[in-house]
């Protein structure tokens, strides 16, 4: 060996790189091999290669693997230039390195190994393959492909992916280099293959080694079969069984593993399940018999068999369909909700005709507290099915749906299979609650796993990772619930029938409170019907002044609060027969100061103040819009925490007024001399949507023309630049808010006439609904004491708020 302190530049075809010797391992080009390196000198060589030599290092095998510090003569002359792919430091000071072979090379043994800063370095020269006859190489490659296919069948350690990759290689040299690392031959024979530069000769050597391996494997199989036949199976089982009994008796245990497994086998034979599931369970039971009860694997295998036994594979509950009784059940449990009830009764009618129908998949969407989950329970009751509920709120792991594979410690099936284990039939009503509350992280997307569960074309073969068996979910009536569709992926929405459950109207809440909630709370608090009575006015006051919600949960809490106070009074006075009637004026005593305000109409018509209608998740609301005009330079101020859409509606309203300024008797450039401030009160509440367009335009016209807006009129509708009135949503809730706010006339877009059928007759009876198509009609109905002819002919009796805004007409009738 020689030692130097400098690195010479590469000469033609040679270079100087770090080196490392291998013990009983031969590195080949195009192969990837992990190695544990513990010798300090080679750890430094690897670190140097990573830092200075483009991760390249020369790997060469030792002739004598027992030598700790080999000399120059102890190394073979040919090795492989390799690239370092990964390096991991282990706690014991060694490192684990992943090498990739690049190409053959020889090292200069005459100069020997050079130590540069204590790093072993060698001068290497690339050794490309020699030219070979193509016909012979092609024939040998075909023979080798056939041999490796036979070898893969008898050697299970050779992965199928590896065999497929080998089958795609046609180059003789590369084929030989790819196969040789997977053979069990001695390292000196592998070194001889590495040193063979002729690719055809190299592949011929590999082919011979494959044939030898096949012969050895065949001989091993023959020997094992001969030995196995020599053992009497019955005698072996009897002998081992008696030994186990003696062992358990000495340890004071009454547990008999054989009898226990026999009982499991009997249950499997009697269980009604698919043949594939039974065969899989019996196969696992066979492994269980061969496993000692003290082994950890015993518990894993037994749990798996018990899971298969516990599931209701082919067990179906008989469903007697009576549409009249189903209707009564749904009506008794829930007030209203006509569309969901109608869809459920339709499904039952079809099932009664065809006897077999794939389970429907409904998605009930609505705000909290409207009865989505309880409706699912009622469906189970009405259809005679069992009920299963699974909450998906906060689920962020795909394995929660599909389960974990049995390779993991403590693995279990997914929540779907776990829920089915708790019931005795495979056709329940399955409620997937809060399906919009799932999230996604690095462990997967649970909503993607639900695609198979909720697809009627696929869920007849749902594959849980733990069971690794196809389970039929097609008979299950799936119902999902959600508060919003925005967070549900579109592919998942496409698999479900969406049924929207809107918030309850005030009239519906009143009926629910008097017919359902009050009797329920009286019973829970030990009160008789005579002990507590709530007047109609008191119930309405609780709904309006003490709750603001779409559902009835808070309403039930307030009624429960009244019941508790009445119960305390009865106990303190020791008068269990006392009768208490709570009126509207008494609510302050029981519930305290009102916590919610609701909109009422203005007491007098005012200029620049218009009543609009808004929809919220908790119901409809009156929406006041105010406009103030000030001398200025044409600035427009919009306040009230309005969203982008509502601000655009305000600008569209201003543009409409400007486009018709001459018809209103205004100068064309009136806006240059006045500042306009548009404000919507309750500035802390966000507001958005296009339905306030005609309200904003009416308010602007009132302020500019100095004409009051009728205080008994409310309106809703989207406005266009041409003054057309477009349809809006939430009409039912908006009309209820108008009725509650003592409004007598409501201006509604003509295209919303079809939605009036969904409004209760009691609400329509107290309102005059005026259908409008244009802004001209809106102004004539909304502005006080103004007719269409007078308004647009300049003859309206008004006092201009600013004379300079209006045009002086010699012939006003021309307009």
Dump strand ranges (E) for 443-504.
Answer: 462-463, 470-471, 477-482, 497-500
H or E element: which one contains 700?
A: helix 693-705
Return d(Cα 345, Cα 326) in angstroms, integer: 8
| 323, 348 Cβ separation under 8 angstroms | yes
In Å, how far are 39, 406, 730, 733, 768 from 619, measured between CA atoms?
77, 50, 9, 5, 20
In Å, how far are 26, 37, 69, 87 from 95, measured between CA atoms?
19, 5, 18, 7
| 719, 653 Cβ separation under 8 angstroms | yes
* Burial 43-79, CB ≥16 within 10 A → b, else e: bebbebbbeebebbbbbbbbeeeeeeebeeeebbebb
What are the DSSP calls for 18-34, one per residue? EEEEESS----TT-EEE
Q: How many CB atoms lie within 10 A of CB 96?
A: 13
Return d(Cα 462, Cα 402) in angstroms, integer: 9
77: closest CA among 131, 38, 21? 21
- Which residue in the list 190, 280, 341, 734 is annotated as catalytic? 734
| Burial of residue 677, with CB atoms counted within 10 A of its CB: 0-12 exposed, 13-18 middle, 19 or more buried | middle
* Burial 279-294, CB ≥16 within 10 A → b, else e: ebbeebbeebeebebe
517: closest CA among 558, 480, 568? 558
In Å, how far are 211, 237, 240, 584 from 234, measured between CA atoms?
38, 5, 10, 88
Please list, in sequence order, all residues whose beta carbon lies within 8 angstroms of the beta carbon of residue 152, skipping any fewer than 6 positions away.
158, 160, 163
- Which residues partner with 61 through β-bridges? 22
Any catalytic annotation for residue 691? Answer: yes
In Å, how far are 368, 738, 759 from 506, measured between CA atoms?
16, 12, 12
H or E element: which one contains 161?
A: helix 160-167
| 584, 541 Cβ separation under 8 angstroms | yes
Question: 548 phi and psi, to 5 degrees?
Answer: -145, 95
Residue 682 zone, left/alpha/beta (φ > 0; ψ -120 to 50; rest): left
The crossing angle, in degrees rounded to 10, of helices 338-354 and 372-383 is: 30
- Which residue in the list 21, 106, 691, 702 is annotated as catalytic? 691
Give the alpha-carbon dihedral of 352, 354, 356, 361, to 10 degrees: -70
* Catalytically active residues, by annotation: 691, 734
């Amino acid at each position: 060996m020689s030692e130097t302190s400098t690195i010479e530049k590469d000469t033609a075809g040679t270079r100087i790189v770090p080196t490392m010797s291998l013990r009983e391992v031969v590195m080949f080009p195009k192969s990837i091999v992990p190695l544990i390196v513990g010798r300090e000198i080679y750890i430094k060589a690897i670190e140097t290669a990573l830092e200075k030599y483009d991760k390249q290092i020369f790997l060469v095998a030792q002739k004598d693997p027992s030598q700790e510090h080999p000399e120059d003569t102890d190394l073979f002359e040919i090795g492989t230039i390799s690239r370092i792919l990964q390096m991991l430091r282990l706690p014991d000071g060694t490192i684990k390195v992943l090498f990739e072979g690049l190409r053959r090379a020889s090292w200069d043994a005459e100069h020997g190994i050079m130590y540069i800063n204590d790093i072993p370095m060698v001068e290497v020269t690339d050794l490309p393959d020699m030219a070979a006859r193509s016909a012979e190489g092609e024939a040998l490659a075909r023979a080798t492909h056939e041999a490796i296919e036979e070898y893969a069948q008898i050697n299970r350690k050779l992965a199928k992916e590896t065999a497929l990759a080998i089958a795609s290689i046609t180059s003789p040299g590369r084929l030989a280099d790819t196969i040789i690392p997977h053979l069990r031959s001695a390292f000196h024979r592998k070194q001889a293959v590495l040193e063979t530069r002729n690719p055809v000769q190299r592949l011929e050597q590999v082919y011979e080694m494959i044939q030898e391996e096949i012969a050895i494997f065949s001989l091993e199989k023959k020997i094992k079969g001969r030995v196995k036949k020599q053992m009497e199976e019955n005698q072996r089982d009897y002998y081992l069984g008696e030994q186990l009994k003696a062992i358990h008796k000495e340890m004071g245990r009454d547990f008999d593993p054989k009898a226990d497994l026999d009982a499991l086998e009997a249950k499997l034979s009697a269980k009604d399940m698919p043949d594939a599931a039974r065969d899989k369970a019996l196969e696992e039971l066979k492994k269980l018999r061969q496993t000692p009860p003290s082994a950890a694997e015993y518990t894993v295998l037994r749990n798996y068999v018990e899971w298969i036994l516990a599931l209701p594979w082919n067990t179906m509950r008989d469903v007697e369909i009576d549409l009249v009784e189903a209707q009564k059940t749904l009506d008794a449990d829930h007030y209203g909700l006509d569309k969901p009830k109608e869809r459920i009764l339709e499904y039952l009618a079809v099932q009664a005709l065809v006897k077999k129908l794939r389970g429907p998949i409904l998605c009930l969407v609505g705000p909290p507290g409207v009865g989505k989950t309880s409706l699912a329970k009622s469906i189970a009751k009405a259809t005679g099915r069992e009920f299963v509920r699974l909450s998906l709120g906060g689920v962020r792991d795909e394995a929660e749906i599909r389960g974990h594979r049995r390779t993991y410690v403590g693995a279990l099936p997914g929540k779907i299979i776990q829920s089915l284990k708790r019931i005795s039939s495979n056709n329940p009503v399955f409620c997937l609650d809060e399906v919009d509350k799932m999230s996604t992280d690095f462990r997967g997307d649970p909503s993607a796993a639900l695609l198979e569960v909720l697809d009627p074309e696929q869920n007849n073969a749902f594959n849980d990772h733990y069971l690794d068996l196809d389970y039929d979910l097609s008979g299950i009536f799936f119902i999902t619930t959600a508060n919003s569709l925005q967070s549900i992926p579109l592919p998942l929405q496409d698999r479900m029938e969406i049924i929207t459950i809107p918030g309850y109207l005030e009239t519906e809440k009143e009926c629910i409170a008097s017919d359902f909630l009050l009797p329920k709370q009286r019973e829970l608090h030990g009160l008789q019907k005579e002990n507590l009575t709530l007047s109609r006015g008191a119930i309405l006051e609780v709904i309006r002044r003490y709750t603001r919600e779409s559902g009835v949960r808070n309403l039930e809490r307030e009624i429960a609060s009244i019941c508790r106070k009445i119960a305390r009074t009865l106990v303190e006075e020791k008068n269990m027969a006392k009768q208490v009637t709570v009126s509207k004026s008494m609510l302050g005593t029981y519930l305290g100061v009102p916590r919610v305000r609701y909109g009422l109409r203005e007491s007098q018509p005012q200029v620049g103040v218009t009543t609009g209608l808004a929809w919220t998740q908790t119901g409809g609301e009156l929406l006041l819009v105010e406009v103030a005009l000030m001398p200025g330079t044409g600035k427009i101020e919009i306040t009230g925490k309005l969203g982008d859409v509502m601000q655009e509606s305000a600008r569209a309203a201003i543009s409409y007024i400007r486009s018709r300024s001459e018809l209103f008797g205004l100068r064309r450039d009136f806006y240059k001399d006045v500042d306009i401030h548009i404000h919507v009160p309750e500035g802390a509440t966000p507001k958005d949507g296009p339905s306030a367009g005609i309200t904003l335009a009416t308010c602007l016209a009132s302020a500019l023309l100095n004409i009051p807006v009728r205080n008994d009129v409310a309106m809703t509708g989207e406005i266009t630049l041409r003054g057309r009135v477009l349809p809006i949503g939430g009409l039912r809730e908006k009309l209820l808010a108008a009725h509650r706010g003592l409004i007598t006339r409501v201006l509604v877009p003509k295209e919303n006439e079809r939605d009036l059928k969904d409004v209760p007759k009691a609400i329509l009876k107290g309102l005059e609904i005026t259908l409008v198509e244009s802004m001209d009609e809106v102004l004539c109905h909304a502005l006080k004491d103004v007719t269409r002819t007078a308004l647009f002919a300049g003859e309206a009796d008004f006092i201009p708020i600013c004379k300079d805004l209006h045009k002086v007409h010699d012939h006003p009738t021309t307009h």
